[in-house]
Amino acid sequence: MQRIFLSDLHLSDPEDKVFIGFAACLEAEAKQVDEIYILGDLVEMWIGDDDNSPIAAALTELLSKASKHCKIFLMHGNRDFLFGEKFAAQAGVKLINDPTTLDEEILLTHGDALCTDDGEYQEMRKILRSEAWQQDILRKSLAERIKFGQGLRAESIANNANKSSAIMDVNASAVTNFVTPNIKRLIHGHTHRPGEHKIGQRQSERIVLGDWGPCGWLCRQVGDKFTLECFNLAHRYGI
């Protein structure tokens, strides 16, 4: 089984180098792996499946082409938790829950739920992820939702500027409590602190995916082997 796992692309503009690099990566990888898992924050903001922005259209087309070659799974992040079944069907991807377990030993999550030191964020998360709040927001007009999303984003930037960097990382006991003994590998993104860590005193490991910029990040699984890859988009794809 060959899989790749990636997250935190924060796509917002189809003409941006990150989008062009991601498109090249997806096109190449879809032809050589069995499954692709996108673990949240694929886009910078998603305000509903009726989004008619250029990035929504470009992304739908890109994913639907790639999904003809391999299976693509999509998990919600904290920026794109409004991805719904309509988008999934158009893009040919399957929405998966956070968390999701594969082969009874690989645990996938976006990662924000593990940042329990940030109480203020967790309170906000509870509201934004509730069914009632989401139904309420989706009833608003597209223009109202765009305005609301921009406000939320500005608020988050202002709040995070005052937080210590430790608060925005995962909490060690939250990780240990989250990972049951059968799990060999936890893979997540969100924190933008790519790396590989042992979980407590156990043999299991935590692989943290990086956010995309001039370089892309992915974790590649070939059978039992997992490798965290970082690559320069311009060098690898000639963009």
Residues of this chain that interact with Mn ion (CB under 5 A) are: 41, 77-78, 190
Minimum separation from the CB atom of position 12 to Mn ion (A): 14
Our CB check for Mn ion shows the closer of 10 and 185 to be 10
Minimum separation from the CB atom of position 238 to Mn ion (A): 29
Our CB check for Mn ion shows the closer of 78 and 109 to be 78
Q: How far is CA 105 from CA 113, 125, 187, in A?
A: 20, 27, 11
**First-to-last C-alpha distance (Å) of the chain:** 30
Sheet holding 195-198, edge to edge: 100-102, 106-108, 185-188, 205-208, 195-198
Question: From the DSSP assignment, how many helices (H) and strands (E) are in the chain?
Answer: 8, 11
Contact between 53 and 14 (Cβ < 8 Å): no
Minimum separation from the CB atom of position 62 to Mn ion (A): 21
Minimum separation from the CB atom of position 21 to Mn ion (A): 19
Minimum separation from the CB atom of position 82 to Mn ion (A): 14
Q: How far is CA 220 from CA 27, 40, 64, 200, 226, in A?
A: 16, 17, 22, 23, 6
- Residue nearest to Mn ion as judged by C-beta position: 190
Our CB check for Mn ion shows the closer of 33 and 194 to be 194
What are the beta bridge partners of residue 221?
A: 3, 226
Our CB check for Mn ion shows the closer of 109 and 237 to be 109
Kind and range of the H or E run holding 235? helix 233-237
Our CB check for Mn ion shows the closer of 43 and 107 to be 43
